Structure formats: C-alpha cells, structure tokens
Structure 1
Amino acid sequence: MYSGSSDGESHEAAQRRIPPASSMLWVRNLRRFIGSGTGLGSEALMELETKRILLDIFKEKQQKSAEGGTIPSFYKKKPEEGSISHRVQRLAKYRFLKKQSDLLLNADDLDAMWVCLRENCVIDDATGAEKMNYEDFCHIASVCTEQIGPKCRRFFSPSNFMKFEKDESGRIAILPFYLYVMRTVSLTQARIDMSELDEDSDGFLQPHEMEAYIRGLIPNLAQLRDMPAAFIQMYCRIAAHKFFFFCDPHRRGKACIKKVLLSNCLQELMELHQESEEEVTDSEQAENWFSLTSAQRICDMFLALDKDMNGTLSKQELGEYADGTLTGIFIERVYDEHVRRGKGGGGNTREMDFESFLDFVLALENKDTPEGLTYLFRCLDLSGRGFLITPDIHSLFRDVHQKWIEGGNYELCIEDVRDEIWDMVKPADPLKITLADLLACKQGGTVASMLIDVRGFWAHDNRENLLQEEEEPEEE
C-alpha cells in the first residue's frame, strides 16, 4: 500500500519543516555572544557583550519613548522583592557604596594628615597660629599623597584653598582646613551608612531605618555607651523623631537623606562623641535632645502626665504639662490640629499618643524655628484662614490674662498687649498677622509664648529684670 517513493517524499517534507540551526534565534544569539571562539569564556568579552546588549535595549527604549510622545514617564514600578532586578539593584548599590567607602580617609589617615600639616606649616608671629601659604599647601599635598595615597588629593585643590579666610600674606590657618576635611569625611561616611539602610534606594529614610542608623551609632558615642540595654529601643524612637520633625515637614513618613545630613539635628547628635571632661549638670545635658538625660526626662514626663496609665494623654492630662501654665484654648487647638481621632474611640474623644506628644514637646522647645512656629501657628489660627486678626488675639490672650490674675499679678489691658504684639511683628498687612510675618520678625517664638503660656508672658514682661540677673554673675 505504501511505496518507497512516498516514504522519501514524507522524509523530504519533514526536512523542509525543520528550519536549519543557523536560522534559529537562540542559536544566532548564542553564536553572537560567544563570537568566533577566540577568547571563549573570557570575562572581558562577556562584560563587553553584556554592555553592548544593555546599550541596545536602552536605545530601543529611547526610540519607543520618542515615538510615544513628549510626556516623560514619571512613575517607575519598583522591582519586586527577590526578583532578579531587585538583586541586581542591591548588588550594584553594595558595590558602589563599597567603592565610595574605600575612597574615604580613616582615622590613621587623618592623624597622618594632621602631622603633615603641623610639620610643614609656619607660625604667625603676631597670633601664634599655625598657617600655610599656597606653596606650602601644594607641598603638603605631595607629602600626604606619598604617605596616605591619592585618596587625599581631592582635599588639596585650589578651590578648597580659596574657601578659607586668608591673612595679608595670603596664608590660611591649618586648623580650619583640617576641621573641614574631618567634617567632609564624617558627612560622607554618614551618607554611606544611611544609604546602606535605605532599602528601596529612593534617597529617603523611613522611621525604622533612621532608628537603625541611630542604634548603630550608640556604641561609638561616648556619652551613650553606658545606656541600659532595655532603654535603647525607646531612645532610638525619641531620637529619630526629632529628625522627622525637622526634615519631614509635610509628615510623609520619610526624611530626605540630604536634608538629614545638612540639618542641625545630625550635628547635635554628633556632639555626643565628645567625652565630658568636666561635670555637666542635668539641666545642661537636657538642652541636647539626643542626650540620655533628655530622653529619660521626656519618658518620665509622659508617664507622669498619663494618670490612667493607658498609654495616651487626654486633654485634662496634657493640661498639667509645664505645671499647668498652658492655656485651655491652646490645648483644645492642639487636639484639633495635631491629634488624630482614634480608630476605636467613640464620640469626639481624642487621646494623644507618644508620637504626637514628641511633636508637641519639640514644638514648644523649638518655638523660634520655622518648624516649631509652623506647628504652633496652626493652633493659633482659630479660624483656619492662614492669618491672625484682632479678635483672635483677644480670644487667645483671654485665658492667659485669667491665669495671670489668678497668680496675683497686676491688672492688664488686653488692648495694650495686642498693640505690643503688632509692634513686635510689624506685619506686611496692618490688619492681620501671617506665619511669614512671625518668621520675618525673628520674635515669633516670643509672640507665641505670650499667647499660649502665662509663664511665657511673665518672662516677656520681666525680660529686663531677667537680663540683668544673667549679667550680674558674669560681672562677679
């Protein structure tokens, strides 16, 4: 039934259906990748071919973007956890940060640079300061490069020399230059450490990432080494909150690393590196938010106010803050503007949690800063119009006046106080005071204190006597 010719035809048809190996896409790609065989397995060839393929992909995407329109893409989905893209991103980030860390000067390098600076400088006959001119600067650069390596060369550029104040002979002091090098190294190291903790590599730190950074610093901070282990977690929570209060004004839950590095908060934290040679009083330590004394003070304060020990503060409990000198209307406004309603709470009852309490304390202790004054102004702006008018001043100061009289002080004229506030602020519009006016007058913190705290008003009213008392010990 079946003839030999038919078998031959079917065989030929099958051969025609199977494409030659050279026409298969994966074969062509494989041959193109390994080349003619010369240097097969060479890492350099593989790297070169990988770069070429990635460049082709990039050009193809650019062409598609150009054909798609002029609107650029503004959203890029982050790679999923555990995906190849995510692993490659983490590996690239690790290698980059490792390379940047290797370029930094270590402690021994900084000591060697200081020795070179002192050995090759000149002493100013008039002041006794150690200085160097540009020729000395270039010579020290050569010596440091020989002893330390090329990684110190970038500090000895002409532009860096021109940054410092020069005397009539064109010389700069070596100490400011050395402090500049140390600060640059310190900030760069901090940037690397923060970037390592930035899990999604977006240039922002979330609260748990900032807490992890502070936790890693504790063993290196001389004034925090003896911190009880049980208190470390609470300390990191308190310390990290100040960074977010000042570096996250829109309360997005993440702080820009660049803002953190440039903020005074980081400098205040780094002050704890120094060993205290003299005895420091508790009040002096409490001035630094990041000191152990300050953190314990804030915890003790919250626990003392929390009478029912439910972990939150009611309006009545918060009213006892600062010995009850804050006005009732201000406490009400704090809850209206800065305390979120609890998910499980009923009615209009609101309770202040520990995070909100930290914001409250930071605002009151930093009234003269833009961040602190912005927090307080929202409370002072009773109608939410963005400015204060005369009725607002009367409403706010009425409680202060009542506490003032209850304290046995002389009678006050509210109109005189209102006029004094207007004279202090000098608003652009004589009929209303804005936040910009309070910031521009440089007395916004004093004005806020006068309107929310009877003790703050008393301090302003007795400012001349208080200033005289401060000057008398200095004269003695």
Structure 2
Amino acid sequence: MYGAASDGEGASDAVPKKIPPASSMPWVRNLRRFIGSGTGLGSEARMELETKRILLDIFKERQQKNAEAGSIPCFYKKKPEEGSISQRVQRLAKYRFLKKQSELLLNADDLDAMWVCLRENCVIDDASGAEKMNYEDFCHIASVCTEQIGSKCRRFFSPSNFMKFEKDESGRIAILPFYLYVMRTETEEEVADTEQAENWFSLTSAQRICDMFLALDKDMNGTLSKQELKEYADGTLTDIFIERAFDEHVRRGKMGGGNAREMDFGSFLDFVLALENKDTPEGLTYLFRCLDLHGRGYLTTADIHSLFRDVHQKWMDGGNYELCIEDVRDEIWDMVKPADPLRITLADLLSCKQGGTVASMLIDVRGFWAHDNRENLLQEEEEPEE
C-alpha cells in the first residue's frame, strides 16, 4: 500500500505544472486598468502622470518645429561676442590672411632675381639675336625662380600666361616682353593700392586702419587702453591729448569704473579720421573738444601753455634746440587772429584756415616739427619740379 502510494506521488511530481502568463491573470488586468485610468491614485502620483503628459506634448511640438526649420537653409550667423575666443580667432585669421596676401607681391629685389634667372636660362636666336625660351625653358625657369624667390612668383609661370605671347616658328617666346608683363602687373597693383589707400572708404584703407588697431592692441582684448593708444604714430602724441580724447570721445565701460574705460574700434576710427583730416570742420571740431580743457568753448593763454608743455617736453627729449613756450603761444595767436584777443574759439580756428596746423602744434611733436621746418620742407618739395 505504501509502495503504491509512493508510486502515485512520484508520477504526479514528474508532470510539470503550467503557470499561466501574468497578462492573463484577472488581478493583473484589473490592476492595469485601474492604474491606467488614474483613478485610485494619490495626488502626487496623479500630478506626476499629468506632468509627464505635458512634457511629452511639448517635446512632440518642438520636434515638429525643428523638422520644419530644418528645411530652411541657414543664411545668418551670429557675430561672436566682444572679447570672446571665437572673435579673437576670427581677427587672428583675418590678420594672417592679409599678411599672406601682402607676401604675394614681388619687390624690386625679386624682380631683379627673376630677370637674372630669365637671362641665364634662355637661348639666343641666331637670326635676330633676341633672348627667347620655349615651354620647357619656361617651366625650368619657373622652378628656379620658385627656389630663389619663393612661391609668390609661380602665378606668372602658368601655361595660360605663356600662350599670351607671340611665338616664333619654334614655339619660343622672347623673355623681355614676358618680364615687362610681370613688371607692369606689379606696378599696376602698387598704383591701385596707392589710390585705394588714399580713399578712406576703400578696402585698402580699412585694412590699414584694422592692421593699425591690431598692432596697438597688445593684450588682444578688442579695445585700446590709454597706454596702448600712446603708441599711436610712434608715440609722438602728447599724454594730455590722449587723456582728453578718452574723456571726450570714449564711452565708459560696462562696469562704470574709470579703469574700465577703453577705446573700441569704432571710437578708434573716429580718432584716426579726425587726426588725418584736421583741416576739415568735422576733424577740427573733434580735436577742439580735446583742446578745450575746461569745456568752456574757448582756449585761453593758460590752456595753450598747458597743452604745449607736453609738446615742449617731447621736443627736448628728442635733442632739439631750446625754445620758449611763450614765443610759441604768441605765434599761435598771430596765426589765428581771434575775434576776442583773450580767447580762441572753434570759429576762430575755422576762419583762419590754419586750424589744423595749430591743432597739430598743440597735440603732436611731429606736427610742431613740421611747422618749425615748413620752409625747408617746402623747398624739398619744389626741388624735383625744377
């Protein structure tokens, strides 16, 4: 009996019991239905569920907007912020590009070296005696010039340039017309650069001012301090003029402190424009605000004395002869001939037609030197014409 019972139990244990899946259990279905409806949840759980729904809707909405915006091409890039790393990298890249472009121009020594290479590697035509070269000579001379002068001469030795010149029956061109072509190209570029430099609104002039600003900006923070601006024009401007330029024409920094005041590029443009056009009403107005130490609208003999004192110091530091400040002051009064004998106004400087010269004498030791040596300078200008 015991054996049969044991056999029956062993048989029942050998058959594995089937466990129904969780999803088919009634209590699981009821629990899911209960949670999904949100009923029976606590206030915190309902709030979290509602928050998830709102965030999901916002996410889907933004995805849709981004998909629509992706079809619009990007045509605007935000300028880098002042003083940021991206701005400094941009300025440095521009400076290197301009420097690289300037290095592509041939100077007089380069032209002489090219002429020597042409003559040493050409052949002489027996019939005419002209010095000529075929295309193989042309390529060889290009290699020699590149080794001696640099890659900046390579642009003249292109196949298209060789085809521009008249060839003889042997396919050779004369070296003299080719060399004159190189010289003429360089000369035209130099003349164009000179004309562009005289035009204030040209790219060449803008490049010159930009290079000047970058050279003065020693700490590369995008603005010029008073100490940095003192290096302008080789340091010939007086300290009192630099101080007055900052007081009158430079806005204070965002922090509002006196040390935070520095000159940005826009203010530097106004500064250079006024100094290079002192005889114009606009330039003279800019400078007169700096000369008017007390903001009264006129200059007195004491103002002239204070302004010229720094010029006198730089004059003596340069090893020049001793001069009397009072004599210079009287000379300025004779030049201006003010309506009021005790004061000089902006109108007096404009009407005397020598306002730019007077301003130069009071702010720049080089300007005073030019006035003091005006007769010698005039004679030097007249000598080439004779």
TM-score (structure 1 length as normaliser): 0.41
Aligned to 2:339: 428
Aligned to 1:374: 285
Write the mapping of 1:2-151 to structure 2, written as runs, cut at 5 A. none
**What is the Cα deviation at residue 277 of structure 1?**
6.2
Aligned to 2:382: 471
Q: Aligned partner of 1:446: which letter?
A: T
**What is the Cα deviation at residue 344 of structure 1?**
2.7
One of 242, 245, 254 as aligned partner of 1:331 = 242
Q: Aligned partner of 2:279: which letter?
A: D
Deviations 1:26-58 (A, max 9, x none): xxxxxxxxxxxxxxxxxxxxxxxxxxxxxxxxx
Aligned to 1:296: 207
Q: Aligned partner of 1:466: which letter?
A: L
Q: Aligned partner of 1:382: which letter?
A: L
**What is the Cα deviation at residue 284 of structure 1?**
4.8
Note if contact 2:252-2:258 (Cα within 8 Å) is conserved in structure 1: no
The 1-side partners of 2:243 and 2:189 are apart by: 44
**Secondary structure of residue in 2 paired with 1:417:** helix
Deviations 1:252-309 (A, max 9, x none): xxxxxxxxxxxxxxxxxxxxxxxx9685175553221122221111000000000000
Aligned to 2:361: 450
Aligned to 2:120: none
Note if contact 2:236-2:366 (Cα within 8 Å) is conserved in structure 1: yes
The 2-side partners of 1:414 and 1:282 are apart by: 42
**Secondary structure of residue in 2 paired with 1:332:** helix
Q: Aligned partner of 1:346: which letter?
A: G
**Secondary structure of residue in 2 paired with 1:467:** helix
Change (3 A) 1:311 1:376: same
**Secondary structure of residue in 1 paired with 2:260:** coil
Q: Aligned partner of 1:418: which letter?
A: R
Change (3 A) 1:283 1:330: farther
Change (3 A) 1:474 1:381: same
Aligned to 2:16: none
Q: Aligned partner of 1:442: which letter?
A: K
Deviations 1:135-185 (A, max 9, x none): xxxxxxxxxxxxxxxxxxxxxxxxxxxxxxxxxxxxxxxxxxxxxxxxxxx
Aligned to 1:83: none
CA RMSD of aligned residues (A): 2.1
| 1:412 has 2:323 as partner | yes
**Secondary structure of residue in 2 paired with 1:427:** coil
Q: Aligned partner of 1:445: which letter?
A: G
Change (3 A) 1:347 1:325: closer
**What is the Cα deviation at residue 315 of structure 1?**
0.2
One of 400, 403, 406 as aligned partner of 2:314 = 403
| 1:346 has 2:257 as partner | yes
The 2-side partners of 1:371 and 1:302 are apart by: 22
Change (3 A) 1:281 1:301: same
Change (3 A) 1:465 1:341: same
**Secondary structure of residue in 2 paired with 1:304:** helix
Note if contact 2:291-2:299 (Cα within 8 Å) is conserved in structure 1: yes
Deviations 1:85-116 (A, max 9, x none): xxxxxxxxxxxxxxxxxxxxxxxxxxxxxxxx
One of 290, 314, 319 as aligned partner of 2:225 = 314
Where structure 1 has 5 or more consecutive residues not aligned to the other structure, the ranges are: 1-229, 232-275
Aligned to 1:172: none
Q: Which has the larger radius of gyration?
A: 2
Aligned to 1:235: none
Write the mapping of 1:162-173 to structure 2, written as runs, cut at 5 A. none
Change (3 A) 1:347 1:445: closer
Q: Aligned partner of 1:392: which letter?
A: D
Note if contact 2:239-2:310 (Cα within 8 Å) is conserved in structure 1: yes
The 2-side partners of 1:347 and 1:450 are apart by: 29
Percentage of pairs with the same residue: 90
Aligned to 1:246: none
| 1:459 has 2:370 as partner | yes
One of 350, 355, 369 as aligned partner of 1:439 = 350
**Secondary structure of residue in 2 paired with 1:280:** helix
Q: Report how many residues are paired.
A: 204
**Secondary structure of residue in 1 paired with 2:191:** coil
The 1-side partners of 2:194 and 2:328 are apart by: 32
Structure number with the bigger relative contact order (C-alpha 8 A, sep ≥ 6) is 2
Q: Aligned partner of 1:349: which letter?
A: A
The 1-side partners of 2:193 and 2:205 are apart by: 9
**Secondary structure of residue in 1 paired with 2:255:** coil
Change (3 A) 1:347 1:327: closer
The 1-side partners of 2:191 and 2:379 are apart by: 25
Q: Aligned partner of 2:373: which letter?
A: N
Q: Aligned partner of 2:277: which letter?
A: N
Change (3 A) 1:282 1:415: farther
Where structure 2 has 5 or more consecutive residues not aligned to the other structure, the ranges are: 1-93, 96-186
Aligned to 2:89: none
**What is the Cα deviation at residue 449 of structure 1?**
0.2
